[in-house]
Amino acid sequence: MTSKPSKQLPHERRKGEAALSDFAEYVEKQQALRYPSRKAPAATATKTAQVEIEHHEELDDILDSLDLSDPTPRVRLRELLLSQSGDGDALQKLVDVVKERLLEGHGEAVFDIGFENNGESMKLTRDEWDVASRRLAEAAKKLRADTQLLLTKNVGGELDGTPTKDGDCSGKFMIRQAPATVEDVIETRIAVVGNVDAGKSSMLGVLVKGDLDDGRGKARVNLFRHKHEIETGRTSSVGMEIMGFDTTGQVVVSDTPGRKLSWEEIGKRSAKVITFTDLAGHERYLRTTVFGLLSSSPNYCLLMVAANNGLIGMSKEHLGIALALNVPVMVVITKIDICPPQILEQTITQITRILKSPGARKIPIFIKNHEECINTATQFVSQRICPIFQVSNVTGENLDLVRSFLNILPHHGRYDADAPFEFHVNDTFSVPHVGTVVSGIVKSGVIHAGDDVQIGPDSLGRFTQTSIRSIERKRIGVPAASAGQSASFALRRIRRKDVRKGMVVLSKSDAAPPKVYREFVAEVLILSHATTIKTKYQAMLHVGPVSQTCAIIDVDRPFIRTGDRATVAFRFIQRPEYLAPGDRLLFREGRTKGLGIVKSVGYDPSKPLMPKQPESAANDGERALEPGAQAGKDDNGFSDTKVEA
């Protein structure tokens, strides 16, 4: 029986929170090295990351809207929107503006009628508003896109928000392109986390099927993969569920009540698909949850909190991991129909306090009406914002706000389709009459059915040559898959037992085979540890889909404690892995201990991270072990710290 770790003192907790926040910013800068954005060439991105210039996306958006760098004055949007129906030149210019916005938004864009690009009001009357909205719909039709009215001001009707003093008519439209092929469908991945019994699976069941829960688990049954999950009502595996929106923003559901659409039907009828990764909330399945969070590369994280329990247990752990991975977080408070008002008030106060803490530094925004929902969703490019919903899966209260929010959610993530092909394997299958199938995320590049690829590394670090028999996305066959998409590949001449989670699929090259490494150097932050961490310490390490035991072989100081940030050299115990600088990692021994980012691959023992170790510091580190801890050594010579009950 393992003794419980001693409770952190307030000053230790504050130090840890501040360190987590600073480290998250450092990780974001380093990610530019691993996955440069399309806008800047790789060389520029690398140089920027090295100089570590502080970058503000919100400021960039404001500067872009002011058009300071544009030498030629643009035609005002008002003139284009109010041009005569016979003026083909003005319509074509408007089509070009909409096309540019759709390219930026990967096939969808929120268009403001009533304001110019620089924020200046168009001062539209009610009649002019009608003309402008019809003109926008006409321009969108030429691009195979539909418009959906999201919010209006001073126009009247159900979607009218708080009127403004000037009385000018304005409104927001969602323009979404109909995908030419299934592979062009917009995809957003959301990881659903939270403590056990927070209502994660029930909420997804209600969102996806459209039918309300009965309060006894009716909605969640379809999401479970195993018999014991149905019996206990608790998720123990990484579940996947998809939710489709058409070009007009409506949820794709079956016309027959109670019938659930298949993935193929949803995929073919949708223009945008939200992929939910339903993760386990029980502490026993933390390993599975951490694997799901790191391997699925989520664009957003949905944290579920039961109103009658608050932010307890593993939900704090999940929130910490999401913050460390720099994934934007949304919070949904469930079960408000059975929660007494005073308990709900306590839960809201607790969530607000935690989100505003130095470790999270989020601005909580409670979404209670349609106007707040639309405004927050369009501003969610800022990771400082954290929207909070209060819902009931039984009564259906506020579920329409969650659906509206998911519909407008902007595309988020770093993907480079021009880089060499790289695919990370999350799961493996053996399908009758098809053969070995691997599923995962395309990290960079583009792949086509029939292309020659190599998969590895195996236990000896070698790669096997194979080719792609067929590609599926959301269970629909497609001819190609590109960066940022989740896909499944059927491989030729490969047996199921020769592939595993954590492998990578790379494009075939005649040059030297890909390099794999057993050792690497990373910048790490220790979140929680009862004693000190030194060389020869072992823990389970997660890097993307890779999960393997690692030993610390070098540190840049005698020992590290909770809240410390250090440069550490790791060695994989079982086999070498394919790594690259900029990969995010998390290591744990039981609960989460620390997180980090790969700085360099390979390690040279002749150049230790800490050249000289003071004798006194080394002795202090030995004495820092708790009285009940006995440090022994295993067969490999690595320490095996055991804590007696």
Q: Beta 272-278 vs 329-334: how paired, if at all?
A: unpaired
pLDDT at 551: 94
Domain end (from 158, 178, 198):
178
pLDDT single digits (tens) 496-513: 999 998 899 999 877 778
Band (pLDDT 50/70/90 cuts) for residue 296 is: confident
Give the DSSP letter of residue 105.
T
Domain end (from 178, 207, 237):
178
**Most confident segment among 10-14, 17-21, 28-32, 290-294:** 290-294
Share of the chain above pLDDT 90, in %: 31
- Are both 394 and 491 inside the same structural domain? no
- Are both 458 and 313 inside the same structural domain? no
CATH number of the domain where residue 384 is located: 3.40.50.300
pLDDT single digits (tens) 100-112: 999 888 889 999 8
In this model, does residue 517 exceed pLDDT 50?
Answer: yes
pLDDT single digits (tens) 559-613: 888 888 899 999 999 999 999 888 888 888 876 678 889 999 999 888 888 766 4
Print the domain residue range for 149: 78-178
In this model, does residue 33 exceed pLDDT 90?
Answer: no
Band (pLDDT 50/70/90 cuts) for residue 217 is: low
CATH number of the domain where residue 460 is located: 2.40.30.10
In this model, does residue 50 exceed pLDDT 50?
Answer: no
- Are both 314 and 166 inside the same structural domain? no
pLDDT at 37: 55
pLDDT at 294: 80
pLDDT at 645: 33
pLDDT at 19: 72
- Are both 452 and 473 inside the same structural domain? yes
Predicted TM-score (pTM) of the model is 0.80
In this model, does residue 225 exceed pLDDT 60?
Answer: no
What torsion do the CA atoms of 223, 225, 231, 232 make, to the nearest 10 degrees? Answer: -80
Phi, psi dihedrals of residue 22, rounded to the nearest 5°: -65, -40
* DSSP secondary structure letters along 593-613: EEEEEEEEES--TTS-SSS--
Please tell me the distance from the alpha carbon of residue 38 to that of residue 35, in angstroms, as a whole number: 9
The secondary structure element, H or E, covering residue 465 is: strand 464-473
In b/e form, how buried is each residue of 603-616, taking b as 16+ CB within 10 angstroms? Answer: beeeeebeeeeeee
Band (pLDDT 50/70/90 cuts) for residue 121 is: confident
Q: Helices 88-104 and 126-141: crossing angle, nearest 10°?
A: 70
Asked if residue 527 belongs to a domain, the reply is yes
Of residues 288 and 250, which shows the higher confidence score? 250
- Are both 264 and 193 inside the same structural domain? yes
Asked if residue 63 belongs to a domain, the reply is no
In this model, does residue 175 exceed pLDDT 90?
Answer: yes
pLDDT at 323: 83
- Are both 475 and 535 inside the same structural domain? no
pLDDT single digits (tens) 228-275: 555 555 555 566 788 899 999 998 887 776 677 888 888 888 999 999
- Are both 403 and 499 inside the same structural domain? no
pLDDT single digits (tens) 402-449: 999 999 998 777 777 888 899 999 889 999 999 999 999 999 899 999
Band (pLDDT 50/70/90 cuts) for residue 32 is: low
Asked if residue 153 belongs to a domain, the reply is yes
- Are both 341 and 256 inside the same structural domain? yes
Closest CA to 176 of 502, 423, 407: 407
* DSSP secondary structure letters along 361-428: --EEEE--SHHHHHHHHHTTTSTTEEEEEE--TTT-TTHHHHHHHHHHPPP----BTTSPPEEEEEEE
In this model, does residue 56 exceed pLDDT 60?
Answer: no
pLDDT single digits (tens) 602-623: 998 888 887 664 454 444 444 4
The secondary structure element, H or E, covering residue 109 is: strand 108-113
- Are both 292 and 313 inside the same structural domain? yes
Share of the chain above pLDDT 70, in %: 78
pLDDT average, residue stretch 185-204: 83
Asked if residue 39 belongs to a domain, the reply is no
pLDDT at 43: 38
Q: Give me the chain's average pLDDT, please.
A: 80
In this model, does residue 10 exceed pLDDT 70?
Answer: no
Asked if residue 315 belongs to a domain, the reply is yes
Domain count for the chain, please give it: 4
Q: Helices 399-408 and 370-378: crossing angle, nearest 10°?
A: 30
- Are both 269 and 400 inside the same structural domain? yes
Band (pLDDT 50/70/90 cuts) for residue 544 is: confident
Peptide bond into 163 cis (omega under 30): no
pLDDT single digits (tens) 373-397: 999 988 886 678 999 999 988 888 8
